[in-house]
Homo-oligomer: A and B are copies of this chain.
């Protein structure tokens, strides 16, 4: 509980992400150029569809992490971090395309999703293309260690996504299983994005591991806060629709917490709405009220704050520089934006 209270206000934390992004701005501009150049293809639909999702914006958080971690590790002599940041963003974009098909989403970051505009078929295939392109970029980089990290992350992401599919609508999912889903679908790529920053700088194994841990914990904090945000009815942030997870019967910590703490009647409510997916218009409001009464959002954000604290601690390996402090502040941002 302490971790949550000691976080700075959301505005300060958001400033940290802005400041971090500003610090790597030149590299990020170069990374965006690589992204545009390498999503090109003689098959015009590929860059069209890819541009739709890449141009839709997003914070480019993962490539920023790769660029910042490379800089934290003193990498100066080349553009490997720029190319690998693009590669990380390609893997992320490929998974977004496939996620939206799997979730039948019509919106992504407040705009029509690629599958809504171009259809499921094109989204699946262009996702495959971007995934393959990511590997081509890695092969050009030429480091087997980088390839090992990112191909491992790709397999773990897919495992996490399948596990999420399996646990959907299942209220007997344990918090440990839920965290396995989160580690897979989100945190594994955060971890890999940070880790390769240390690898290009040829840093010792302890620093490589420290940045992997930082990314993993940051990713978990980020996803937990995101899952809380999905029920944060008073905030119109992130271009997300409140209640998406609820309508899909997605098992997230807010639901598991409210279910575990609920009485028999409440459990019946969750079984009907999440397990049987029988929902009326009034059910989302009832879900939000039960979560508030049972402190489910607060519990979720406390868990997020715990992982954010672990992320900050992972950076103890590095000298106390302004860049390190910014990376630590970004861990706060992951959680504060959801309060």
By a beta-carbon cutoff of 8 Å, the part of chain A in contact with chain B is 41-46, 95, 98, 101-102, 120-122, 124-126, 128-129, 131-133, 135-136, 138-139, 142, 144, 147-148, 151-152, 154-155, 157-159, 161-163, 165-166
Task: Report the separation of the CA atoms of residues A121 and B250 in the bound assembly, to the nearest whole angstrom.
Answer: 14
Contact B139 A155 (CB under 8 A): no
Main SS at interface, chain A: helix
Contact A132 B151 (CB under 8 A): yes
The distance from the CB of A299 to the nearest CB of chain B, in whole angstroms, is 26
- A-B contacts, 14 listed (Cβ < 8 Å): A41-B162, A42-B159, A43-B162, A44-B166, A45-B165, A98-B125, A101-B124, A102-B125, A124-B124, A125-B165, A128-B131, A128-B154, A132-B151, A139-B148
Q: Which of B46, B102, B124, B158 contacts A159 (CB 8 A)?
A: B46
The distance from the CB of A282 to the nearest CB of chain B, in whole angstroms, is 29
Q: How many copies does the complex hold?
A: 2
The distance from the CB of A211 to the nearest CB of chain B, in whole angstroms, is 20
Contact B151 A124 (CB under 8 A): no
Contact A41 B159 (CB under 8 A): yes
**Which of A121, A128, A131 has most chain B Cβ within 10 Å?**
A128
Contact B125 A161 (CB under 8 A): yes
Contact A128 B43 (CB under 8 A): no
Contact A125 B45 (CB under 8 A): no
**Which of A44, A129, A152 has most chain B Cβ within 10 Å?**
A129
Contact B152 A136 (CB under 8 A): yes
Contact B126 A155 (CB under 8 A): no
Contact A126 B43 (CB under 8 A): no
Contact B166 A43 (CB under 8 A): yes
Known: A147-B135, A147-B147. A128 touches B46 (CB 8 A): no
The distance from the CB of A90 to the nearest CB of chain B, in whole angstroms, is 11
8 tightest A-B CB contacts, nearest first: A129-B158, A132-B154, A132-B155, A135-B151, A128-B158, A102-B121, A139-B147, A136-B151
Q: Which of B125, B144, B163 contacts A142 (CB 8 A)?
A: B144
Task: Report the separation of the CA atoms of residues A234 and B159 in the bound assembly, to the nearest whole angstrom.
Answer: 43
The distance from the CB of A175 to the nearest CB of chain B, in whole angstroms, is 17
| Closest chain B residue to A166, Cβ basis | B45
Contact A161 B98 (CB under 8 A): no
Contact B121 A133 (CB under 8 A): no
Known: A101-B124, A102-B121, A165-B45. A132 touches B147 (CB 8 A): no
